[in-house]
Amino acid sequence: MRNLVVRRAIQMLLIMLTVSLLLFAIFDSDQFREKAAVAELGGFGIATLSADDYHEWLQKKGLNEPFLARYAQWLKAVAHGDLGRSVEKDVAVATLLKESLANTAILAFFVLLGLIPIALTLGVLAGMNEGSRLDRVISVAAVITTSIPQIATAVLLTVILALGLGWVPAKSAMTDGWSFRPLVLPLLTLLLYDIGYLVRMTRAAMTEVMASQYIRTAVLKGLPPWRVIMKHALRNALVVPVTLIFLELNGLLSQVVVVEVFFQYAGFGRMLFDAANFGDIQVLQAATLVAIAVAVVSQLLSDAAYTFLNPRVRFK
Amino acid sequence: MSVAPLLECKNLSISYAGRAGDVPAVVGFNLTLKPGEAHGLVGESGCGKSSIALAVMRYLGRAGRVVAGQILFRGRDVLAMNDAEMRRVRGGAIAMIYQEPMASLNPSMTIGEQLIEVPRYHEGVGHRDAALRARAMLDRVQMADATRIMHSYPHQISGGQQQRIVIAMALLSNPQLLLLDEPTTALDVTVEAGIVDLIRRISAEFGTSMLYISHNLGLVRETCDRITVMYCGEAVESGPIADVFRGARHPYTRGLFASNPSPAADKNSRPLRSIPGQLPSPRARPPGCLFGPRCEFFAVDRCDAQPVPIAPIAGSGDHSSRCLRVDEIAWDAAPAAISSRAAAVFGEVALQVNALTKRFGSVSANDGLSFEARRGETVAIVGESGCGKSTFAKILMGLLQANSGSVQLAGLELSRLPVTRRNPQTIRALQMIFQNPFDTLNPSHSIGSQIARVIRKLGVQRDAAKVREQVLELLDLVKLPRDFAARRPRQLSGGQKQRVGVARAFAGRPDVVVADEPLSALDVSVQAAVSELLIDIQRRERTTLLFISHDLSVVRYLADRVVVMYLGQIMEQGSTEQVFAPPYHPYTEALLAAVPIADQHYTKRKVLLSGEIPSASNPPVGCRFCTRCAYRIPGTCDRLAPPLQQVAPDHQIACHLPREQLAAMRPVFEEVTP
């Protein structure tokens, strides 16, 4: 177990290094540098930036150094938490990132808080009695919620809950300070899809387990039904869903781009979207780095959970 | 007065709901099981024998249903019990032992937890006491090292140990009835012998009644008091073991016996006779006698007129048969003579294996294998799981590369030549028949196109018309109708699929065919037909056949020469007659003694074999068999590698025992003088 974690942590570091090198190389290309120069020298720069001015700018920024030297420098700065400055907002990228990540983390926390108990319970209930009425209701509902794109769900929910019934605000910008009510719509949008997905996975795992021979053994041992489910089935059925929940962390990071932009929630997705629109290169660079770090860490957690839950892997 | 029966099935009928309506699995089944009695339920796959056991436990799944009849346990109708009563019966008064012990144990619970549950939930025993009882039960099923086992997970112990756990679990509640569903089918033969011995001892010691479900006639003969033979969901014959095995009174039972190879009899004295035709589909049951279309005694307008009831045979006690003509058939007459095959003539050496060694890390899967196979010869490689026979086949086929030694096919070195680098000529010369005909045919291509593809790929024929012609000829060769070319694999039965497998292997007229357990997935009556076919084609084409098998009965029937392997080494090799008669290698002797025999004409000597097959990653020093050998010479066998003794021309035994002792061994099987 510990071996696995150490091995995966080393792998993770290597992946991050490779990715950072790639990222640096991409954003270090002439196109992007020129774009950065234009942005920094101001709107007029587009017309007036001459080759000489550009070179002078490069000189001033220390961008004429050899590639690897600059990469090393950049890496050192990143390691010290210096991710550069946002041209658009004129703040340190680190500050910007911290705030937006914190907001997204709040959203993600509530998503998981709703997702895990609801999806696992529904999935287990559906899978316990394959083909029963309850199973059919849950399965059909799950298929429906996963079939609607999130952007459509967002529109529908806004129309019904905010514009129609007026229960919650339509936008989540929270200009007057933090409150929970504006969070409801983005939360529901994310939850509807994710619950549907996780329910389907949990149900599939549960039906497979319920059809297995060791469940037959447990039933024919004369155990009460709750004992068969709680002790014999769940442990085996939850292996896959639990690993999926960790991978969901990574999935959420992509989903929030749509949801946060739509509801104007000041999170990571919104920041990424704005930066991409504006061409705020250092923000993009830092955000990509964070996204990849989340992906790699969630993989690691997911593998660790799988190993922990599965004695056949744990004790070779 | 007779004793009250423990279990009674009265006119039991079970159906499974299918898309096109109900499919009957069991029809009008009757059974009376007395306390302490062991009843064998025998039949081929799909005959409904497992459904009966599951119906007794009321566990037929969502689709299955008892449509008629009663199941009485101690006089109470199982089908009328409420859930709480049923729970007390399940795992309490009636316990079940399953075919696949690995799949039947929960992979994520320790064995201790799974055992302790039984007394906890059936008798409300506290955790500590339950644990003590579980440990005591492990001792009774002869599990050494109970403490470690209690804390292990199922995947950490061997298949034989897993089955002992399942048995211990069943016995913990002191059941009155044990349902055994093919309890040893997934196990090696020496392990099977140990489990069967245990089951027999338990039934004697605990006085437990048993319903023993098996396809293996020999096993039932060795463990049961009574037998019921099933065909297509109906009992066709029922009676005391001795009566049925001595004088079968239904053509199907007779057919089963005749198609069941015996390790005791050599092939010339008792040729196999397969049952013609195949099982009718449950949806298209023939009118009248279900066995009618396959029966040699079929009488038109009588046997197919109306359903045949099962009836007691006059003057026989309680032996009954579902045959209208039971009083007309001359049961004791010898079956029509089968033209015997001329002995095969072997040609030059086709395949030469020399000191072949293959290691996987510390595991030596093949350790210095040396033998040869001649043209037209059938060489069987026999051994239990983990003996390295499949590794050898993979090296031969080019899927693995050997570490050292050589394999030569007509002078060409193959031991380190992967199949991707072999030329089409070599691939054509060396073909394979696989174990599982169900998985080795592509479900989305027709039979014809799959055979045609082989013909084209092996460069035998390219012209489309000629390829088609050849496909039809191959279908003729394996005795399948020509219109099968257009069929898909799912439209074929298991035996028919394996015939396609044979056709595919012989499509390129190979020099050597490797058959890896080609019969083990098939039912007995089909096995006989496929093995006959295999011999016929092989004789005609003068192909060298390497027959890899764990089934000594089939090997005795099919092989000219036998190579016995154990933990990666060859223990004994010689002609079939030599290997199946003394002098034996002690392992060969134990293997032979472990095979259950159905043939009443032979008795079997008991050979004790201790322990289980050691792990291949840490094989015993000296003779690899020494840890289990009854003849072990301490200080010699566990230190020195055994010498290869040439006990007769062409007959080698790797053993430390002095030649006189080997020569003095008695035969394992002896014919009973009537």
The verdict on B156 touching A (C-beta cutoff 8 Å) is yes
Say how far apart CA B260 and CA B216 lie, in whole Å.
9
Per the domain annotation, does A251 fall within a domain? yes
Contact (CB, 8 A) for B210 and B38? yes
Mean pLDDT along residues B67-80: 92
CATH (domain of A149)? 1.10.3720.10
Contact (CB, 8 A) for B305 and B283? no
Mark yes or no for CB contact A222/B89 under 8 Å. yes
A-chain residues near B98 (CB < 8 A): 213, 216-217
Per the domain annotation, does A274 fall within a domain? no
| Banded model confidence at residue B384, pLDDT cuts 50, 70, 90 | confident
Predicted complex ipTM exceeds 0.85: no
**Domain coverage including residue A175:** 95-268
What is the SS3 assignment for B26? Answer: strand
The verdict on A218 touching B (C-beta cutoff 8 Å) is yes
A-chain residues near B117 (CB < 8 A): 221, 223, 227, 231
The verdict on B120 touching A (C-beta cutoff 8 Å) is no
Say how far apart CA B127 and CA A143 lie, in whole Å.
44
Per the domain annotation, does A307 fall within a domain? no
Nearest C-alpha in B relative to A310: B108
Question: Looking at A5-19, B374-388, B598-612, which range is the least confident one?
Answer: B598-612
Which pLDDT does position B70 carry in this prediction? 93
Say if residue A9's pLDDT is above 80.
yes
Per the domain annotation, does A217 fall within a domain? yes
Mean pLDDT along residues A90-118: 91
B-chain residues near A305 (CB < 8 A): none
Which pLDDT does position B342 carry in this prediction? 64
| Banded model confidence at residue A16, pLDDT cuts 50, 70, 90 | confident
User: CA distances (Å), B110 to each of A231, B106, B128, B314, B574, in order?
Assistant: 12, 8, 16, 55, 46
Say how far apart CA A127 and CA A212 lie, in whole Å.
13
Closest C-alpha among A145, A122, A144, A150 to residue A135: A122
Which pLDDT does position B1 carry in this prediction? 47
**Residues B475, B477, B479, B480: what is their CA dihedral angle, to the nearest 10 degrees?**
0
Say how far apart CA A153 and CA A156 lie, in whole Å.
5
What is the SS3 assignment for B446? Answer: coil
The verdict on A313 touching B (C-beta cutoff 8 Å) is no
State the best of A214, A235, A309, A310 to mutate against chain B, taking most chain B CBs within 10 Å: A214
Q: Over pLDDT 70: what percentage of chain B?
A: 97
In B425-511, where do the E strands start and end? 430-433
For residue A227, give how far its alpha carbon lies from the nearest alpha carbon of chain B (Å).
10
Which pLDDT does position A48 carry in this prediction? 61
Q: Over pLDDT 90: what percentage of chain A?
A: 38
Contact (CB, 8 A) for B455 and B507? yes
Which pLDDT does position B339 carry in this prediction? 56
Say if residue B545's pLDDT is above 90.
yes
Say how far apart CA B662 and CA B587 lie, in whole Å.
12
Mark yes or no for CB contact B166/A217 under 8 Å. yes
Instruction: Give me the helices (H) in B19-145, please.
Output: 49-56, 83-89, 101-104, 111-123, 127-140
Q: Cβ contacts of residue A69 below 8 Å, gap of 6+?
A: none
A175-208 pLDDT, tens per residue?
777 788 888 899 999 999 999 999 999 999 999 9
A151-178 pLDDT, tens per residue?
999 999 999 988 888 888 888 877 777 7
Burial of B41 (0-12, 13-18, 19+ CB in 10 A): buried
Q: Which residues pair with B181 in a beta bridge?
A: B213
Strands B21-33 and B38-42: unpaired
Which pLDDT does position B293 carry in this prediction? 87
The verdict on A167 touching B (C-beta cutoff 8 Å) is no
Say if residue A46's pLDDT is above 70.
no
Across A243-257, B15-29, B116-130, the highest mean pLDDT is recorded for B116-130
Interface of A with B in 188-217 (CB under 8 A): 212-214, 216-217
The two tokens of residue B322 are 């579902």
Eight-class DSSP state of A85: B
Q: Cβ contacts of residue B188 below 8 Å, gap of 6+?
A: B159, B160, B384, B385, B550, B613
b/e B428-462 (16+ beta carbons within 10 angstroms → b): bbbbbbbbbbeebbeeeebbbebbbbbbbebebbe
Q: Cβ contacts of residue A225 below 8 Å, gap of 6+?
A: none
CB atoms within 10 A of CB B88: 16
For residue A207, give how far its alpha carbon lies from the nearest alpha carbon of chain B (Å).
13
Contact (CB, 8 A) for B308 and B235? no
Instruction: Give me the helices (H) in B507-650, please.
Output: 524-541, 552-558, 576-579, 586-594
For residue B105, give how far its alpha carbon lies from the nearest alpha carbon of chain A (Å).
5
For residue B90, give how far its alpha carbon lies from the nearest alpha carbon of chain A (Å).
5
Higher pLDDT, B617 or A147: A147
The verdict on A136 touching B (C-beta cutoff 8 Å) is no
What secondary structure does DSSP assign to B232-266, as a single string?
A: TTEEEEEEEHHHHHHS--SHHHHHHHHHS--SSS-
Contact (CB, 8 A) for A269 and A104? yes
User: CA distances (Å), A253 to each of A11, A41, B322, in order?
Assistant: 22, 33, 70
Say how far apart CA B142 and CA B163 lie, in whole Å.
12
Higher pLDDT, A271 or A280: A271
Per the domain annotation, does A186 fall within a domain? yes
Say how far apart CA B392 and CA A96 lie, in whole Å.
64
b/e B198-236 (16+ beta carbons within 10 angstroms → b): bbeebbeeeebbbbbbbbbbbbbbbbbbbbbbbbbbbbb
Per the domain annotation, does A236 fall within a domain? yes
| Banded model confidence at residue B269, pLDDT cuts 50, 70, 90 | low
Tally of domains in chain A:
1
Contact (CB, 8 A) for B70 and B259? no
CB atoms within 10 A of CB A34: 15
Say if residue A47's pLDDT is above 70.
no
The two tokens of residue B122 are 């059936």
Higher pLDDT, A64 or B489: B489
For residue A98, give how far its alpha carbon lies from the nearest alpha carbon of chain B (Å).
41
For residue B13, give how far its alpha carbon lies from the nearest alpha carbon of chain A (Å).
21
Which pLDDT does position A42 carry in this prediction? 62
Contact (CB, 8 A) for B590 and B607? yes
Say how far apart CA A222 and CA B118 lie, in whole Å.
8
Per the domain annotation, does A168 fall within a domain? yes
pTM: 0.83
B207-242 pLDDT, tens per residue?
899 999 998 888 899 899 999 999 988 999 999 999
Q: Over pLDDT 70: what percentage of chain A?
A: 96
Q: Cβ contacts of residue B637 below 8 Å, gap of 6+?
A: B622, B623, B626, B629, B656
Mean pLDDT along residues A111-117: 93
Whether residue B583 has a cis bond before it, omega within 30° of 0:
yes
Which pLDDT does position A144 carry in this prediction? 94
Radius of gyration over every alpha carbon of chain B, rounded to an integer in angstroms: 26
Mark yes or no for CB contact B155/A224 under 8 Å. no
B639-655 pLDDT, tens per residue?
999 999 998 888 999 99
Angle at B488 between CA B482 and CA B493, to 5 degrees: 80
